[in-house]
Amino acid sequence: MIIDCHGHYTTAPKALEEWRNRQIAGIKDPSAMPRASELKISDDDLCETIQSNQLRLMTERGSDLTLFSPRASFMAHHIGDFNVSSTWAAICNELCFRVSQLFPDHFVPVAMLPQSPGVDPKTCIPELEKCIKEYGNVGINLNPDPSGGHWNSPPLSDRHWYSIYEKMVEYDIPAMIHVSTSCNACFHTTGAHYLNADTTAFMQCLTSDLFKDFPTLRFLIPHGGGAVPYHWGRFRGLAQELKKPLLSEHLLNNIFFDTCVYHQPGIDLLNTVIPVKNVLFASEMIGAVRGIDPETGHYYDDTKRYIEASKILSAGDRQQIYEGNARRVFPRLDARLKAKGL
């Protein structure tokens, strides 16, 4: 089985964006604030967007299952207050759940949280629990910077986040560390803010002893880990200067990386530097980079081609990256698949 651990509902029906625009307008004019019940999206609408987009490409590219969460750039936790974020997260999570019900063999939901700048993360727990208990979500997306590019939240190692971590440990779920839209003109959302955040999250963990407090906590750092694999020597050296254990002991039992790296040399570097046990297959298809690479004639985000073309990986390595590691990092996914006899 080929499991794509990083999928977002980037093709949701237009009605979702229209409702969100009304919600944003309602922040300044409360009389214009729409009710959640005013959003009307039918199962046929959902099927049309999935069948003509994600499912079509999964079939063409040869992947079987996608872990599916709301569109990352639409989370926009910096917009409005907690009530705005809470309503928006609930709507987006429900849509991903409905997709998983309509296409149970191909999509499994992962939740966004109703984070809001300056608000205690424990306010996210009701939505997290609902998604786990009622929707069967197998993981969450955690935004380390709800401000949208201003980085005024404490680092991930701070006790500020511990209420979320305690629930992650209780339900045995991992978190993909994923920021949202940048509202800081210095940081392009997908080209800078995302990759900066991947690197920053890793360094926040490196400088701390977070995983001594939470030995079973698991973070998935997307986009190939940002700058981390490319600068692995720098991070090893910094850990040494800080009197931390070797990275293999300090972080690699808890931190994992996906394969959303959009060229062959990048994938080869990732798989040369990072142990196979820490790499999970992903494509983030129809996401940040949607075009065709003129050097290859194939879509940049068709990442399975890079894994298949690798001269570094054995057949066993590929099986771990495609399936084994995802089932280990997402135990609820593994249980779900085993219940189906897979």
CA dist 71 and 14 (Å) reads 13
| DSSP output for 124-192 | GHHHHHHHHHTT----EEE-S-TTSSS--SPPTTSGGGHHHHHHHHHHT--EEE------STTS-IIII
Active-site pick, 94, 127, 284, 323: 284
Tell me if 16 sits within 8 A of 78, measured CB to CB.
no
Closest of 200, 188, 92, 104 to residue 140, by C-alpha: 92
221 bridge partner residues:
257
Phi, psi of 138 (to 5 degrees): -110, 0
How big is the chain, counted in residues? Answer: 342
Find out whether 206 and 212 touch, Cβ atoms under 8 Å: no
Active site includes 284?
yes
Q: Closest Cα to residue 124, out of 94, 98, 161, 72?
A: 161
Q: Which two tokens stand for residue 116?
A: 């809001």
Q: CB neighbours of 123 closer than 8 A, spacing ≥ 6?
A: 82, 86, 114, 116
Q: Please name the residues in contact with 77: beta carbons below 8 A apart, sequence gap of 6 or more.
A: 85, 115, 116, 117, 143, 146, 147, 148, 180
Active site residues: 284
